[in-house]
Amino acid sequence: MSTTETAPTAAGSGASATEAFRASSGGRAPGQVDHERVSTVVGAVLKGIHQAIRDEEVTYPEFQAAKEYLIEVGEGGEWPLLLDVLVEHVVEEVAARTQTCTKGSILGPYYLPDQARLDTPATLPQRPDEQGTPLVLSGEVRSTDGTPLARAELDMWQADEQGYYSGFAPHLPDGNLRGVVVTDDQGRFEISTIQPAPYQIPTDGPTGGLLEAAGWHPWRPAHLHLMVRAPGHRTVTTQLYFDGGEWLDSDVASATKPELVLKPADRGDGTFTVRYDFTLDPA
Ligand code: MBD
Ligand code: FE
């Protein structure tokens, strides 16, 4: 990675992720507290922590360091990043138990709602000099019974060729490589974009600091994020990866699945094309 002064800092992207989360419906507190549920889940979490302390004979200095660390995560605005990287994949695994649609994957911290709505065939908004291998993703959105879903929405977001997300890196224009692509009357879509680079968790913040302290690498394989929606159907949140890509077998966020790996082919002019169909469960 280059070390120009425009390189986004963890503080910048982490704080923006906290703002974005608070602005989303995901941040809304439930209206009524289910005391029994809170007791059960929080009790189970604490039981796990208590047992880890016993098993590993955690010391007072380690306990105090943990408190200091957690304070830093909050002050740096990195709770969404830390939790999405280390925990979300198991929440997704549980959600997937009731899904028969296209395989899902984690949402992550960099989704932004209300992006440009684009009829298919669409090109994701990008800078005039956007770097990266051109990629055309096409396919169909269908219900699990095979019915094509007209005017389904593919809400897509991705990093650029340097691994940065618009909205979370000050040098990128708002809405860059983000868009909501609408399928045609036969449920088909075609989206032109560029192949993203692998994503590195910012190494200058507390999440990156923890990974470094543990000796774990900070990388996610290159990926496209998608949320696919259609009336009367359950929305699927997923990610698509690239065959042969670095970090595919050691994603720091544990969010890859073999069914989600694309194998784009050069159509002859340096543009890579690939087909991927999505199926949605009826609501
Ligand atoms: C990402 O780009 C991402 O997709 C996830 C899940 C976590 C951190 C950065
Ligand atoms: Fe991502």
Residues 54-107 pLDDT 10s: 999 999 999 999 999 999 999 999 999 999 999 999 999 999 999 999 999 999
Task: Please tell me which residue, 108 or 7, carries the higher pLDDT value.
Answer: 108
Closest atom of ligand 1 to CA, residue 255: 6
Q: For residue 13, what are the contacts with CB-CB under 8 A and spacing of at least 6? A: 81, 165, 168, 169, 202
Which of 21, 78, 85, 247, when mutated, tests ligand 1's pocket best, judged by the most ligand atoms within 8 Å of its CB? Answer: 85
Q: Rounded to two decimals, what is the model's pTM?
A: 0.93
CA–CA separation, 74 and 268 (whole Å): 49
CA distances (Å), origin 90, targets 1, 46, 125: 30, 17, 32
Q: Dump pLDDT digits (tens) for 154-171.
A: 999 999 999 999 999 999
Q: pLDDT tens digit string along 23-68?
A: 886 656 667 899 999 999 999 999 999 999 999 999 999 999 999 9
Pocket lining for ligand 1, CB < 6 angstroms:
81, 84-85, 106, 108-110, 199, 220, 253, 255
Compute, in angstroms, the gap from residue 9 CA to the centroid of ligand 2.
Answer: 16
Q: What pLDDT is recorded for position 119?
A: 98
**Cα-only R_g, the chain:** 20
Nearest ligand for residue 81 CA = 1
Mutate to test the pocket of ligand 1, among 220, 239, 251, 257 (most ligand atoms within 8 A of CB): 220
DSSP states along 182-234: EP-TTSEEEEEEEPPPPEE--TTSHHHHHHHHHT---EE--EEEEEEE-TTB-
Q: Counting atoms of ligand 1 from 1, which one is nearest the CA of 253?
A: 6
- Of the listed ligands, the closest to the CA of 255 is 1
Q: Which domains does the chain have, with CATH numbers?
A: 95-280 (2.60.130.10)
What is the rounded CA–CA span in Å between residue 76 and residue 26?
20
Which two tokens mark 135?
């990629």
Going from the Cα of 149 to the center of ligand 1, the distance in angstroms, rounded, reads 29
Is the bond leading into 121 cis (omega within 30 degrees of zero)?
Answer: yes
